[in-house]
Amino acid sequence: MRIGGAEFLLSAAGRSAWPPPDLPEVAIAGRSNVGKSSLINALTGRKALAKTSATPGKTQTINFFRVEGRPAGRGARPFLLADLPGYGFAQVPLALRARWRPMVEEYLRERASLRGVVVLIDARRGAKEMDLDLLQWLAAADLPACLTLTKADKLKRGERRAAADDLARTLMQGGGLYGRWAGPLLTSAKAGTGRRELLAQIEAWLDEPPRTRPAA
């Protein structure tokens, strides 16, 4: 499964800089060192589209990318990918960490063109409190999530399955607390594992109608 050409569009530190909401949009979220940039590059087939940083947590803006073609290859139907700033890195100054929550919550609540959020979790570490908090924010905003376990190539086959089962069990025990979620998908940016399945989920979201109004 392939998608069309992708390019960096802009970085936004606040709502006034968001691009017009005239294209369907999917966001990528996760902890600062979970491999968001590597996964975006693997999804789009561009090795350096999203810049990786030697200092996790450094980026404190929402980075928007325009993708020209859809995953299923049905013509030139562009969409946007939004890379949300990473969270949970202890060495980020408190002031920056405090800024993350209102900026991202406003985006999740108010971005009418947003169809769903890919939530990345390190397969070796499992879901942490902030990951589960994010899922509750998505549920409150009536946004679906796709749970995506990254760096699966660093685990043995049995460990991968156990990581996915443990995450699914945690979410199911929460009942409706964590909203609408798909997965967990096991992925590896290095090996290409899970790329087809994740693109299929993105395609399904892009075919859904936009939210009729931003969630309250």
Contacts of 101 (CB under 8 A, 6+ apart): none
- The first and second tokens of residue 167, run together, are 């995450």
φ and ψ of 213, to 5 deg: -160, 155
Query: Is the sign of the CA dihedral 133, 136, 140, 145 positive or negative?
Result: positive
pLDDT in tens, 104-117: 889 999 999 999 99
Spell out the domains of the chain, with CATH numbers in brackets.
6-206 (3.40.50.300)
pLDDT at 55 over 60: no
Could you tell me the maximum CA-CA distance found in the chain, to the nearest angstrom? 47
Query: Which amino acid is located at 207 in the chain?
Result: D
pTM of the complete model: 0.89
Asked if 102 contacts 142 with a C-beta cutoff of 8 angstroms, the reply is no
Position 212 pLDDT exceeds 50: yes
pLDDT of residue 216: 46
